[in-house]
Structure 1
Amino acid sequence: MDKTVGVLGGGQLGRMFAEAANRLNVTVKILDKEDAPAKKILNHPSHISGSFKNSASIRELSKGCDVLTIEIEHVDTTVLKELSSQGVAIEPYPETISIIQDKYLQKEHLKKYEVAVAQSMKIPTGSSKELEMVGEAFGYPFMLKSRREAYDGRGNFPVKSDKQISEAIEALKDRELYAEKWAKFRAELAVMVVQTKDSTLAYPAVETVHENSICKLVYAPARNVSSAILKKAQDLAKKAVASFKGKGVFGVEMFLLEDDTLLINEIAPRPHNSGHYTIEACPVSQYDAHLRAILDLPIPESSLQLREPAIMLNILGGSDPKAHLKIAEKALSVPRTSIHLYAKGDGSKGRKMGHVTVTAPTTREAEAIIQPLIDAVDVISGSKSSSSTSQPPPAAAASQPAGTSKSPQVAVLMGSDSDLPVLHAGFAILEKFNIPYEHRITSAHRTPRWKADYVSSAKARGIKVIIAAAGGAAHLPGMAAAYTPLPVIGVPVKASNLGGEDSLLSIVQMPRGVPVATVAIGNSTNAALLAARIIGVDDERVGKLVEEYAAAAEEEVMAKDAKLHAEGWKAYKWP
């Protein structure tokens, strides 16, 4: 394509953007230092050497470009506004970049558009008295933040008590400051949003895991979060980005609080670390999407969906300048792993030197694949010794039958531990067929939130079938089916004076559109066999075992028939 894009900034984001542009024959001109990572893969003489904060260099870059965009928001927006007024296309708009640059103004802007954010307070002078007033208003702890040029924890200070006020002032001296009320969150989520000339689109909501205020891992999709909450996260991110002018990709970070509400933390007006996974996991990466958006090229919304689950791990520098290369070398032998090195030369502790992304049919499989690389990164960072035993992350812990190491394919749920004896026969079938499973107690009535979160995340964790046993009102199977597209098999349990008929009718009489397969009262054997048949449709091993089981049952009946025929009914004995 006969287009030229000028980019302010040539770090790893610019490098990956350039890779996307190269595939479409779009020329990219970089403004950054001479040996910037992005310039190393773009062999032409039109780059500009200099600072992306220098007005003269920005003007020079704008010559001959169809559009200017940014790889980092810490740029000179005054000259960008001037160029925009002269007809230079700049995406996103300079006014947008200017607002987002100042994190306090960013929050104030979002409030105007009724986007949920943490409470914040301006700190005009950074005095002890002002911080004491924040403590009185917000309580402790609270976050003291730099309004500008803060990233990866730099420029932030958690003030845990009034005794830390002087320390916080010293740590962030000579900066414009504001304070935020502490957000007690149970997970950090992120959504990459794409704003085009006529629509606002969103990638899936992902989970980000931070260590020392630096993003360490990204799980796509987010773990242990219901589909309803993930949809709310996408909607909130789109609402936030739609309040700004300009096209391109925006990275939206947010907190999922303990009461399941969402708060926007920060927005980046550019591709973002939390979106690296899209390169391998989605048909159109965040870098492809940014390029298409600013050049008004088509972006099918379905191209932003996950092909399969993914986990991204940042490779940070260690005390050894070459430590990051050791991680990359180790990753070469790990299957289903893509490696990205940023050509930054020698590493330093905490500096982002590259990343790896693992994709797999299920999140659990991806977790198992990437765990050795997480261990290696932990050794380099000093958070784990080289002799430490590799352990799967918390979300991977599950009950499995003895002798199997596979991720669970069947989830067996019960509303109470009193239902457990009914399920023993079903467990025996699953173990006979060597089908990995997990079993949990979750009540449709007493633990509705936990049940919803667990069931909503089941498909992403590799579960293929859910068996749910319940007595009495027996709402567990139906409520499970309401939260997942997976097949659900209900097992009615005799748990009342009605002999289990109430449970049977509660399960089988589901409303149209929310199907639940239902077996006879107390018949977990059939539930497990039905689960095996479903899995066996595309699992040749399980399918063969189902056929063998049926053949064995036929042989058993035929043998009994032969014995009865030979002995007669009076002599025939049965258990």
Structure 2
Amino acid sequence: VGIPCVVKPLMSSSGKGQSTIKSESDIEKAWKYAVEGSRGDVVEVIVEAFVNFNSEITLLTVTQNNNPTLFCSPIGHRQERGDYQESWQPAHVTDTAIAEAQDMARKVTEALGGAGLFGVEFFLTDEGVYFSELSPRPHDTGMVTLAGTQNFNEFELHLRAILSLPIAEITLEKAGASAVILASAEGTPLFTGIEAIAALPKTDFRLFGKPTTRPYRRMGVALVSDTLDTPIEGIVEKAKAAAALVTVGN
């Protein structure tokens, strides 16, 4: 694999326990951090070659009991501190890259089995598409679909697949973006700015109902949508501005 490389727990989420080894002196620290951030009682880690990527995408993949696997339009996203901060749909991805990602997503999800929605993440590089990781459930970056970007949002798709209800097709209806609403300190959440975000056009929001806060904990999400011919970069900026209107104190 070589150095630099990435070390992560066998099972974790939101980047917990993941670190980059840049020299041999980082090895022991990376091992301890991965074990501490692991879920379950399996003391194993994954060591991966470092990938220089241009961007990341999530391909929401729907496996069905008696019907073919379906794919949503790719979702772009930006990560910080191991957590997604903004996501947008559609992401600017070439047809070749989409085909590569769909082929890998189909093989991985069908090998795992079961019916439902998977959040399958990929790195886009100059050399091609690399599989990153998979979540066997609706994905945080997929919350952008709550802005009405698709005919079915990710939660509706997950439920239909589990219940074996037919999904005729998944269509892209609008361009949209999501941006997280973050807490700034530990305590009991107290939201301000709700009326301000509620007054914005083409904007919606969700508050997660988490009982406690801590710095950078994701407490909600702002959602903005517009027509498909609207530049996605502008929609992302509007989502970030909307999220910034809501503060989470205690």
Query: Normalised by the size of structure 1, how large is the TM-score?
Result: 0.39
Change (3 A) 1:267 1:371: closer
Higher relative contact order (CA 8 A, sep 6+): 2
- In the alignment, is the contact (CA less than 8 A) between 1:328 and 1:339 conserved in 2? no
What one-letter code is carried by the residue in structure 2 that aligns with 1:218?
Answer: S
> Do structure 1's residue 211 and structure 2's residue 80 form an aligned pair?
yes
1:308 corresponds in structure 2 to 174
2:136 corresponds, among 269, 287, 291, to 269
Residue of structure 2 in register with 1:220 after alignment: 89
Deviation at 1:321, TM superposition (A): 4.2
Seen in structure 2, the aligned counterparts of structure 1 residues 173 and 299 have a Cα distance that, compared at 3 Å, is: closer
Quick check: which has more Rg, 1 or 2?
Answer: 1
Residues 328 and 213 of structure 1, relative CA distance in 2, 3 Å threshold:
farther
Q: 1:298 aligns with which of 166, 171, 193?
A: 166
> Partners of 2:59 and 2:167 in 1: how far apart?
17
Give 1:150-299 correspondences, 5 Å limit.
Answer: 150-173=12-35, 175-197=43-65, 198-223=67-92, 225-259=93-127, 261-279=128-146, 280-299=148-167
RMSD over equivalenced CA pairs, Å: 2.3
How far apart are residue 370 of structure 1 and its match?
A: 2.2
In structure 2, distance between residues paired with 1:307 and 1:375: 26
Q: Partners of 1:318 and 1:327 in 2: how far apart?
A: 15
1:522-533 to structure 2, matched below 5 A, reads none
Counterpart residue number, 2:8? 145
**Amino acid of the structure 1 residue aligned with 2:158:** H
Write out per-residue CA displacement over residues 293-331 of structure 1, whole angstroms, 9 at most, x where no aligned residue.
Answer: 111111111xx2221111011222222646772364542
- 5 Å-filtered alignment, 1:560-571, equals none
Give the secondary-structure state (helix, strand or coil) at the position aligned to 2:221: strand
Aligned equivalents of 1:332, 1:211: Cα separation in 2: 26
**Tell me, what secondary structure is at the counterpart of 1:281?**
coil
Letter in 2 for 1:201: L
Distance (whole Å) between structure 2 residues aligned to residue 186 and residue 329 of structure 1 = 38
Contact 1:316–1:354 under 8 Å retained in 2: yes
C-alpha distance in 1, partners of 2:97/2:89?
14
Structure 2: 5+ residue stretches without partners? 37-42
Q: Deviations over 1:115-148 (max 9, x none)?
A: xxxxxxxxxxxxxxxxxxxxxxx22211111112
Which residue, out of 311, 328, 331, partners 2:197? 331
Secondary structure of 1:300's match?
Answer: coil
Q: Tell me if the contact between 2:9 and 2:35 (Cα under 8 Å) persists in the aligned partners.
A: no
Is the Cα–Cα contact under 8 Å of residues 202 and 238 in structure 1 kept in the other structure? no
Corresponding pairs, count: 237
Partners of 1:364 and 1:173 in 2: CA distance:
38
One-letter amino acid of the structure 1 residue matched with residue 9 of structure 2: S
How far is the alpha carbon of 1:173 from its aligned partner? 4.1
Letter in 2 for 1:360: D
Identity %: 27
Q: Distance in 1 between matches of 2:51 and 2:29?
A: 21
Question: Cα–Cα, structure 1 residues 364 and 186, in superposed 2: closer, same or farther, change >3 Å?
Answer: closer
Cα drift, residue 275 of structure 1:
1.3
Instruction: Name the counterpart of 2:241.
Output: 372
2:87 aligned partner, one-letter code? V
Give secondary structure in 2 for the equivalent of 1:249. Answer: strand
Which of 212, 232, 248 is residue 346 of structure 1 equivalent to?
A: 212
Residue identity opposite 1:276 in structure 2: M
1:451 counterpart residue number: none
* Contact map agreement 2:56 2:124 (CA 8 A) in 1: yes
Unaligned runs of 5+ in 1: 1-137, 381-575
In the TM superposition, what whole-angstrom CA distance separates every residue of 1:134-185 from its partner, at most 9, and x where no partner exists? Answer: xxxx22211111112x111112121111121232233234632121111111
